[in-house]
Homo-oligomer: A and B are copies of this chain.
Amino acid sequence: MSAQPRGQNLTHSIVQNLGVAIVTGIYSVKKPFPVEAQLCKQYGASRSVLREAVKMLTAKGLLGARPRQGTWVQPESNWNLLDPDVLRWLLERKFSYSLLVEFAQIRLAVEPKAAALAAASRDAVKKAEIQKGIDRMIAAEQGDDDPLESDIAFHAAILRASGNRFYAQLPELISTALRFSIRMTNRQKGVRLASVADHEKVCTAIMAGDIAKAEAAMEFLIQETLDLIKKAQAAGALREGRR
């Protein structure tokens, strides 16, 4: 297997390749993680490049290394799931409804509180971004904007308007997750149109400074998403069962 450097440099492409390989679980007791020299051959790369790639994956909690013992895949509990790369690798290549459900549970916990904080905030500039997000969603309804991107922009704007730096990290993760969950929720037609109105309710409450209403409206929104994912999960399990 050789890494094709598409766009980025060699180190980067090896990180992506190995990252995906690790999270998809191709290494195990039966097939242990290769030693440096072996990986160099495998990717046709020099030791320096390969070691730097391994170090980056180590920094994300995926790998560990010690002299004489070699390099190994860390237990999954050690992986930094909240690292955008790691989450993307998992969703892209080891898609599972359960992971999507678990991520939606995070959103269900965090986004209503973020909406509440945004409603309490006095940052007019950041709050204006939320309105822009809604405007884009409305435009998307007419086909004048991208539905997914405008949806993401709306949620991102609220997280950023919360004034909480940890929340402000989530848009990247959420955009990744949304790009995958949309594939399913889109199958279930007739929901997205009504959903714009529900989004607007959140926006209106935030603009009015109504903390409780903003929180409740957002909770409703995410709960709806979570239900959709769970429904798709159940349907998926059904399809599995029919085979």
Binding site for B on A (CB under 8 A): 11, 15, 48, 51-52, 55-60, 76-77, 80-85, 99, 102-103, 105-106, 108-110, 112-114, 117, 164-169
Known contacts A60-B59, A82-B169; A164/B105 CB under 8 A: yes
> Please, which residues of chain B bring their CB within 8 A of the CB of A57?
59
Cβ-neighbour of A103 out of B11, B58, B82, B166 (below 8 A): B166
Least CB distance, A113 to chain B, in whole angstroms:
4
Q: Is the CB of A106 within 8 A of B164?
A: yes
A166 & B82 in contact (Cβ 8 Å cutoff): yes
Tell which of B55, B81, B110 touches A110, judged by Cβ atoms closer than 8 Å: B110
**Residue from B52, B60, B84, B105 within 8 A of A117 (CB atoms):** B105
5 A-B residue pairs with CB within 8 Å: A56-B56, A80-B82, A83-B83, A99-B165, A102-B167
Quick check: B99 and A109 within 8 Å, CB to CB?
no
Pick from B51, B102, B106, B114: contact of A52, CB below 8 A.
B51
Asked if B113 and A105 sit within 8 Å, CB to CB, the answer is: yes
Docked Cα-Cα span, A51 to B60, in Å, equals 17
From known contacts A55-B55, A110-B109, infer whether A166 and B83 are also in contact, taking CB-CB under 8 Å.
Answer: no
Q: How far is the CB of A211 from chain B (nearest CB, A)?
A: 13
A109-B109, A110-B110 known; A81-B165 Cβ under 8 A: yes
Cβ of A160 to closest chain B Cβ, rounded Å: 9
In whole Å, how far is A173's beta carbon from the nearest beta carbon of chain B? 9
* 8 residue pairs, one from A and one from B, having the closest CB atoms: A59-B59, A56-B59, A109-B113, A82-B82, A52-B55, A102-B164, A109-B109, A109-B110
CB-defined contacts of A102 to chain B, threshold 8 Å:
164-167
The closest CB in chain B to the CB of A82 belongs to B82
Q: Output the least CB separation between A85 and chain B (Å).
A: 8
A15: chain B residues within 8 A (beta carbon): 59
A68 to chain B, nearest CB (A): 14
Shortest Cβ distance from residue A167 to the other chain B in the assembled complex, whole angstroms: 7
What would 18 more interface pairs be, CB under 8 Å, given A80-B83, A106-B110? A48-B51, A52-B55, A55-B56, A56-B58, A56-B59, A59-B59, A59-B60, A77-B168, A80-B84, A80-B169, A81-B165, A81-B166, A82-B83, A102-B167, A109-B109, A109-B110, A109-B112, A109-B113
